[in-house]
Structure 1
Amino acid sequence: MSEVLRVSHVSKDYGTGRRAHRVLSDVSLEVARGEVLGVVGESGSGKSTLGRIIAGFLPPTEGTVEHLAGGPRSVQMIVQESAGALNPRLPVWRSMAEVSAVNRRLSRRLREPSMEYVRYVGLSEADADRRPTQLSGGQRQRVSIARALAAGPKVLVCDEAVSSLDVSVRATVLNLLNRVRADLGIAIIFISHDIAVVSHLADRVLVLSHGTVMEHGPTDRVLHRPESDYTRALISATPSLERRLMHSAEGA
């Protein structure tokens, strides 16, 4: 598979001089077309900062981010609080049409092109005419995904994109993201504190602690044969995942 994104030796400091605080240290990764890379770690590990650098919202202090299949616009970001990412005064279809109306008047003629993505994420014609406050959290997150897809990305950065959703709704959104990568070949960087959620989706996992990569490899290897004490602690702190791994080991 061809690479669509390459991050090389990226570090990030907040502040300058003696007050500088390093939140990322020498992080490197690559993502191929249609691949899902899970990025996990505790709060404060640098996950969100890495995501924002990849999406172009923050500059790295050191290192480079190469968008190998297009410019920065080829990367779209989906965040935890979908309500804040959508204009509360606009109906769903208009929020989506903004993406393709850069130099055009936002008219109703753009509604039908937007509907292609509304339907793809499983929302209805009626949903498209509603405002974000009239939708559930899961519906808003699907709108955020549809809006990102309308920009024609090669990479989606999902930062805690399902952490605030109920379990059943979370599964629906995860299944949708799986479809996105399978149908459209879009690579996904899936950032989460929950290694159990990542295990359902990711091909590879990168484990961060205090801005440093502790482990990086295929999901099955990282979960079943972790190399770092930190990764083992993350797994043991997730009882449902630890039980599942123990059962698979017993059945082997």
Structure 2
Amino acid sequence: MLNIKLTIEYDGKKYFGWQRQKNKPTVQQSIEEALQLLFSGEKITLIGAGRTDTGVHAYGQVANFKIKKSSLKVKLKDLIHILNAMLPQDITIKKAELVEQDFHSRYSAKARIYKYYVTETKRSVNADKYLFIKTKFDIALAKEYCKLLTGIHCFRSLCKNDTDKHDFQADVKYVKVSRKRDGIIEFEICANRFLHSMVRAIIGAMIKVASGKMELKEFKNKFEKGEEIKAQYVRSNALFLYKIIY
């Protein structure tokens, strides 16, 4: 058997997330259908590293699938071109490589990196890839907020608290926020795992703190106790799965 690892870029605007769902278009489904046509004698199961939510984009999603050695009739570089010709414009295979049999896109990953983009000025070009905010944004306060998230913490307060979840712990390697040119604010977070809508909740709370609508001390107290933080889950349109680390 061959274990093939794909690095994938996609615009998530038209999709109900990565994971296959009944009667709803997803990224996994689109790629699996293309692979199934290409390797018609195989039963293709595509394993993704990050199960991105509805509307979330990716620069560096990773997935793998297994096929019989005899089924691969082309070089991997040609496989990329063939798949990209079969896939819609908003999904691109950036890289294809052979990996060890025990490689698993999700369970072999050591960390995942997400980025989120906020704009303080109105935009017309690629406006749907930013969250437009009209409130003031104190970047120094936002940096202090980010420091509170680094390390191993319970993120019960900063995720969609599904009733069947019992483990809310995540190890956040680093969190960065910076003001770029033209009023763009870039947020970057790296962690071993992410809970449901965790990044969107973190951004919502950060904006609330940086705009002066919540004291940093109040956030810290609620976060450490696992209490509800009444902050908006920001829209998914400005969220990108940036990289998977192995």
- The answer to which structure has the higher strand fraction is 2
TM norm structure 2: 0.24
